[in-house]
Amino acid sequence: MESSILPAIIRLRASANSFLSQFEPLLLVVAPLITFLVAQIVQSFIQVVHEKGFKATLIGFIMTWVKLVPGVKSYIDAEKQKVVDKLQSSGKSSRDGWRTELPSSGLGNRVLEQMKNEKEKDAAWQGKCSGTVYIGGNESEGHFSLINEACSMFAHTNPLHLDVFKSVVRFEAEVVAMTAALLGSKEKASGGQICGNMTSGGTESILLAVKSSRDYMKASKSITCPEMIIPESAHSAYDKAAQYFKIKLWRVPVNKEFQADVKAIKKYINKNTILIVGSAPGFPHGIIDPIEELGELALSYRICLHVDLCLGGFVLPFARKLGYPIPPFDFSVQGVTSISADVHKYGLAPKGTSIVLYRNHEIRKHQFVAVTEWSGGLYVSPTIAGSRPGSLIAGAWAAMLSLGQEGYLEHTREIMEASKRLQNGVKQIPELFVIGRPDMTIVAFGSNVIDIFEVNDLLSSKGWHLNPLQRPNSIHICVTLQHVPIVDDFLKDLKDSVQIVKQNPGPISGGLAPIYGAAGKIPDRGMVNELLVDYMDNAC
């Protein structure tokens, strides 16, 4: 057999060769082109694997092909819609009766009556929500009414018009300066150049810090394909910044203490790196990253370091004064180039207020947008918004001045103590474990023996609103002045819920627990991404 096949193959190859030889000149041109193309494809494949990891790439690849099988895509879409509906039904009321057009004749003052009715439909958040409302006490009195009055007094002002509304321009400068003074501007190490602006919230502060870092690094190091490296625990605002500003984002796992893993971050630094990030503390577990080590790393590579003090900005400076062990976190650390601090969280200002700070004017200049060729005239604006609400600036100023150092110190002591009590209470529930060692007022906890998301659902049915977290599955409560009087109530409800879940293994509450549980485990992250987008698309 073989002997007859072999010559046949040889003859076949010979005739193929003579056939192909006609095209030799063409092959000479095409071959390098094909080689180049293949190299390109291989390179971009390697890049995707490097960015997403081998598993995610493989799953993405498989899912793309699986969906081509007739019926599979529509099946997946139908299943996805079920999940979206489920998320919707527990979060959103039905839209029956919602207005879709202006009333032909105005309601006049009656709108206020309608608004009161609508407000009553909101969930009872008083003392019950993780974070959310940071001011203590009753909404109709005390610090709440002071803020309301300050805001309404300046409701029609706009700092865009510097020459008209001198009052709010001054308020803004003072809010920024007072915040900077809390975060190290008065210390020698800072060089006395700290500057910044008020923004609409932590996200805008982070967006701006990233944008400024990108353009500063372009100017000073000619980096044109920017990359930034963040710990897994850093806020999602960096993802937003990466998408908006075309920056490649590396998200690096945290270490065993749930802090930024500086050694791991270092491995990702290359010639395109513009920025590394630390949080003080991070949103998920309330743990402060090693800012000094990150500072050293940033200095040695001459790159930017942003410290996210959105939660800590108006707590840590006071906690340190009160004697709590707080590692360095602000501009006193060399290498820190920018900071975000939310005055609308623990600063007890109205919602829509935050501060972004820079080590010097050189960096901040890259935040501004100047336009010289507009027929509307010469234009320059410091932050993302053009017109801005002077009322919020006035509200923040009122919050800070009305409280003063003593007010913040007193509040910090109260929430730090409440958090310790809460943490100790959680530790005494044997089924639960606290994640890492919380540095401030956020306590995250999970369980190795029961489904923590079922516990969360039961807590929700008792009116509590906590944040579900993943990696590991857990929930957290961000303790505010609202919680100080009700820590024991919370611990009692938590203990009861844990017992109920323990005695009834399997889904019991009919809430979102199975979805959270599944969403964490689904290997196809692209699918989870689509789910979130569909959910948002339905919700607003």
Ligand X SMILES: *Cc1c(COP(=O)(O)O)cnc(C)c1O
CB of 110 to ligand X, least distance (A): 33
Among 304, 311, 443, 494, binds ligand X (CB under 6 A): 311
CB of 308 to ligand X, least distance (A): 5
CB of 199 to ligand X, least distance (A): 9
Residues 6+ apart with CB under 8 A from 146: 398, 399, 402
DSSP 218: H
> Does the footprint of ligand X cover residue 310 (CB under 6 A)?
yes
Nearer to ligand X, 205 or 509 (CB): 205
Q: Which residue is nearest to ligand X (CB)?
A: 202
Per the structure block, which two tokens stand in for 368? Answer: 């501004």
CB of 109 to ligand X, least distance (A): 33
A 10 A CB-CB count for 125 gives 13
* Of 39-47, 306-314, 405-413, 519-527: span binding ligand X (CB under 6 A): 306-314
Query: Strand order in 474-478's β-sheet?
Result: 432-434, 442-447, 474-478, 467-469
Nearer to ligand X, 310 or 394 (CB): 310
Tell me the angle at which helices 390-427 and 487-503 cross, rounded to the nearest 10 degrees.
50
> Does the footprint of ligand X cover residue 476 (CB under 6 A)?
no
| Binding string, residues 199-228; x marks residues near ligand X by CB under 6 A | --xxx-------------------------
Closest Cα to residue 283, out of 326, 246, 254?
254
Among 143, 211, 214, 235, binds ligand X (CB under 6 A): 235
CA–CA distance, 379 with 393 (Å, rounded to integer): 22
Tell me which residues in 143-202 interact with ligand X (CB under 6 A).
201-202
Nearer to ligand X, 196 or 511 (CB): 196
HEC-encoded secondary structure of 43-84: HHHHHHHHHHCHHHHHHHHHHHHHCCCCCHHHHHHHHHHHHH
* Of 32-40, 144-152, 307-315, 527-535: span binding ligand X (CB under 6 A): 307-315
> Does the footprint of ligand X cover residue 326 (CB under 6 A)?
no
Decide: 460 and 447 in contact? Cβ < 8 Å: no
> Does the footprint of ligand X cover residue 231 (CB under 6 A)?
no
Nearer to ligand X, 308 or 439 (CB): 308
CB of 522 to ligand X, least distance (A): 26
Tell me which residues in 268-287 interact with ligand X (CB under 6 A).
279, 283
A 10 A CB-CB count for 246 gives 10
CA–CA distance, 43 with 321 (Å, rounded to integer): 54
Per the structure block, which two tokens stand in for 409? Answer: 């110190």
Nearer to ligand X, 338 or 447 (CB): 338
Nearer to ligand X, 235 or 366 (CB): 235
Per the structure block, which two tokens stand in for 373? Answer: 């060729």
Nearer to ligand X, 131 or 136 (CB): 131
| Binding string, residues 335-354; x marks residues near ligand X by CB under 6 A | -------x-----------x
CA–CA distance, 314 with 339 (Å, rounded to integer): 12
CA separation, residue 467 to residues 418, 435, 457, 489 (Å): 18, 14, 11, 18
Decide: 223 and 217 in contact? Cβ < 8 Å: yes
CB of 315 to ligand X, least distance (A): 11
Q: What single-letter amino acid sits at 109?
A: N
CB of 324 to ligand X, least distance (A): 18
> Does the footprint of ligand X cover residue 357 (CB under 6 A)?
no
Nearer to ligand X, 238 or 453 (CB): 238
**DSSP letters of 104-136?**
SS--TTHHHHHHHHHHHHS---TTTBSSS--S-
Q: How many of the chain's residues bind ligand X (CB under 6 A)?
A: 12
Nearer to ligand X, 236 or 504 (CB): 236
The three-class DSSP label of residue 292 is helix
> Does the footprint of ligand X cover residue 438 (CB under 6 A)?
no
CB of 318 to ligand X, least distance (A): 17
Nearer to ligand X, 127 or 202 (CB): 202
Per the structure block, which two tokens stand in for 61? Answer: 């690849």
Residues found near ligand X in the complex (CB under 6 A)? 201-203, 235, 237, 279, 283, 308, 310-311, 342, 354
